[in-house]
Amino acid sequence: MKTAIVTGASGNMGLAVVQKFIDEGYFVVGTVIPNDPVKLDFPANKFEAVVVDLMNEEDAAKFIAAVIEKHKSIDVAVLTVGGFVMGGISTTSAADIMKQYKLNFETAYNIARPAFIHMLQQNSGRIFLIGSKPGLSAAGNKGLVAYGLSKSLIFRLAELMNDEAKGKNVVTSVVIPSTIDTPQNRKAMPDGNFNNWVKPDAIAEVIYFYCTGNAAVLREPLIKVYNNS
């Protein structure tokens, strides 16, 4: 049985990704926060929840090592943890940028690095980082300075990892969703056109496709999951 790790397993995207990979026959190890209020109702023989401080590099490394020891291999890593804050340059302090850096970049890097090293050693693996339109281009970054800057590093990280992995069957992808159709976003934007948003299940389907044999020849993909937004 193949093994996938999903950070932020109790989030809207995390839940969808966990379910999809379980449905496809994977064993999934998901990270959660202490006293997570979301009930994770997945079969115990197909899913394990682990409390991990993703901002702590040592804690994240120990988590990856424990998964490898127990399951022998990590085939897929989907890193969904992140956060969002608004603010233009006039209202964004260096401290604000650092908070977003820690939430959006460190939480990804602390897991991606040891997972990447392991995948290079086994010569196979797929890593999925979550990007954003503001991180992809400054044109979409107005009023989102700290968020956009932190997310922009995700793209550079993927480029560096793919460069180091040339000649290996290890690929790092960046998934770029538009507005995700979640209860929180519907509440925050009640006048939005929900039909144009992208559903978490659709994102999970796309991520899984990139783990299949049909996508094996693809390298360094930026996966824009926009629907009609």
pLDDT tens per residue, range 209-224? 999 999 988 888 899 9
Among 29, 142, 150, CA closest to 89 = 142
Rounded average pLDDT over 55-62: 97
* pLDDT band, very low/low/confident/very high, at 51 (cuts 50, 70, 90): very high
- Cα separation, 86 vs 65, in Å, equals 36
Question: Does residue 229 have a pLDDT over 80?
Answer: no
Q: What is the pLDDT of residue 140?
A: 66
* pLDDT band, very low/low/confident/very high, at 11 (cuts 50, 70, 90): very high
Give the three-state DSSP class for 130: strand
pLDDT tens per residue, range 97-108? 999 999 999 999
Q: What is the pLDDT of residue 185?
A: 83
pLDDT tens per residue, range 81-93? 998 888 999 999 9
Q: In terms of DSSP bridges, do strands 222-225 and 3-7 run parallel, antiparallel, or are they unpaired? A: unpaired
**H helices of the chain, where?**
12-23, 57-71, 94-100, 107-122, 133-136, 145-164, 183-188, 200-209
Rounded average pLDDT over 23-42: 94
Please name each of the domains of the chain with its CATH number: 3-225 (3.40.50.720)
Q: What is the pLDDT of residue 174?
A: 97
Q: In what order do the strands lie in the sheet with 170-177?
A: 47-51, 27-32, 3-7, 76-79, 125-130, 170-177, 222-225
pLDDT tens per residue, range 177-202? 988 888 888 887 888 888 889 999 99
- Cα separation, 154 vs 147, in Å, equals 11
- pTM greater than 0.85 (yes/no): yes
More confident call, 186 vs 20: 20
